[in-house]
Structure 1
């Protein structure tokens, strides 16, 4: 008989690639992970791992069992959801949210949950969408708040469900005393953008190229509040979403872009977790919090 805890380790190894990464994600020691996988191999009666330089990789048997492990974990989650439905309003939900969602949408959603499900425990990690979606597949979190930029699509991963909760306008941001009105006028300026590999960076660079120039990215920073400060003090220009301005004055000059582009804000969870009342309640609160926010003015500009 296979033990589910050991199957989880194999599933994690298939996703994360190394024993050290599995150990870090699950708060085990690497030796414990190795010992448990060795026992799983004995239970299976076939070799699951083989050396790959200084690492290990899954054998054909290991890959087959890891696929079954994923299905076993999904079934366990569905069973837990049915049991939790007998006592709605309680439980634990682990949420990953990107920065501006964590700063803006999440506090309002937590206020709603405090009223609707006061016994519900919500744990939050601020993660970029790329990392959050990976951790969702790896079962490190139960719910993700992520973004998708216009014209860019994210990989559709099997076993996940997505729900759009709204759109967030993106505008050109310049220093308060700057009178530039288009991207093309900023071809010689210093730019601040998010790190390479992020959807936000890819989209911003494409906008500049479409305007006829390659941006001079002098500042590569994940924190959008730092973007705003660099722009406000005259050191850079950039592209900023409205969600950044949470009940505050925008100390930069914001200019509408052609076509009024918006990024899609969505939640994602595993299909096997959608029936869990705690996950459903958290998802509903996030959607309602974002909807309430969009009915209010999001910012004021300097005069």
Structure 2
């Protein structure tokens, strides 16, 4: 149904006569009458009946007028929202990897909820491969994903990437005389050639990272354990049963574990926001991105040159 005709119906309900509707809308009486004839055909029921020299609304006409008031109000609210006016409202499905949730996602969502309670963010936890699939199918609106600088990720052309920052990588190893919290050298890493290495069971990025890092030190790692939960990884390390790569944001002080910076040997983990191209035009999405960016600046490295989402949405070229 045409919004103009619904507006005319609401005005007839309010003013009572075709002449009055014509005066307030600037349309001729004949044009107003033709609009109502079309509206009746669209509705499939009589909306007006003659009442002397005037017309009055039928019960169906009164009911449609009630719907029209709500429809027109919602359209006005949507136009105002998309024009950047009024309070932003809407549901956003955010997919994120688990280690980004405590330091970045949850603080950002708390601040967003306090400032803009109308934005309803639903969380989905997935690693990058699954997250990118959800974004492409439309089952998620925006995602936090990571890639290792030593293992760049290929992002689909249908998605747009905005870099948030990066974090250094650490080696989790059992505490003891050989362990040190100083940045690892190739020689010290080579001393772990016979260690049992830990990787995850989802995707191949971490395997490639460990293999390239160890190859630079002159050996091939023995990946003995596949564990996705980083807290369990740390427990295995503390028990002396393995060593593994740990992103700085996920590393916690634990008895029996030493975290040694990998430096250039391990590179960094780069964290980005990803959405379908064109999705950033929606104001609630941009606002969520801005809050995530603000928190990321507090905990990540290399965030100075990240373009504020409110100022520009130019994408960062994928690696």
Q: TM-score, normalised by structure 2?
A: 0.62
Residues 84/141 of structure 1: CA separation in 2 closer, same or farther (3 Å cut): farther
Partner of 1:136: 135
Secondary structure, aligned partner of 2:175: coil
Give 1 or 2 for the bigger CA radius of gyration.
2
Partner of 1:190: 196
Partner of 2:264: 259
The runs of 5 or more residues in structure 1 that have no matched partner are 1-80, 296-303
Worse overlay, 83-92 or 187-196:
83-92
Partner of 2:7: none
Offset of residue 177 of structure 1 = 2.0
- Whether 1:155 and 2:154 are equivalent positions in the alignment is yes
The runs of 5 or more residues in structure 2 that have no matched partner are 1-77, 302-319
Residue 224 of structure 1 contacts residue 244 of structure 1 at CA under 8 Å; is this kept in 2?
A: yes
User: How many angstroms apart in 2 are the aligned matches of 1:135 and 1:142?
Assistant: 8
Partner of 1:200: 206
Residues 192/137 of structure 1: CA separation in 2 closer, same or farther (3 Å cut): same
Offset of residue 232 of structure 1 = 1.7
User: How many angstroms apart in 2 are the aligned matches of 1:82 and 1:216?
Assistant: 59
- 1:85 corresponds, among 82, 94, 110, to 82
Partner of 2:167: 168
Residues 85/147 of structure 1: CA separation in 2 closer, same or farther (3 Å cut): same
Partner of 1:238: 244
User: How many angstroms apart in 2 are the aligned matches of 1:221 and 1:173?
Assistant: 14
Worse overlay, 207-216 or 90-99:
207-216
Offset of residue 193 of structure 1 = 1.0
Residues 198/117 of structure 1: CA separation in 2 closer, same or farther (3 Å cut): farther
- Whether 1:286 and 2:292 are equivalent positions in the alignment is yes
User: How many angstroms apart in 1 are the aligned matches of 2:227 and 2:79?
Assistant: 43
Residues 82/215 of structure 1: CA separation in 2 closer, same or farther (3 Å cut): farther
Q: TM-score, normalised by structure 1?
A: 0.65
Name the Cα RMSD after superposition: 2.2
Offset of residue 272 of structure 1 = 1.8
Partner of 1:211: 217
Residues 83/256 of structure 1: CA separation in 2 closer, same or farther (3 Å cut): same
Structure 1 moving runs of 4+ over 4 Å? 81-84
Offset of residue 250 of structure 1 = 4.3
Residue 169 of structure 2 contacts residue 263 of structure 2 at CA under 8 Å; is this kept in 1?
A: no
CA deviations on 1:191-224 (whole Å, 9 max, x unpaired) are 1111263322221222122222221211101111
Residue 84 of structure 1 contacts residue 91 of structure 1 at CA under 8 Å; is this kept in 2?
A: no
Residues 212/89 of structure 1: CA separation in 2 closer, same or farther (3 Å cut): same
Residues 119/178 of structure 1: CA separation in 2 closer, same or farther (3 Å cut): farther
User: How many angstroms apart in 1 are the aligned matches of 2:205 and 2:79?
Assistant: 36
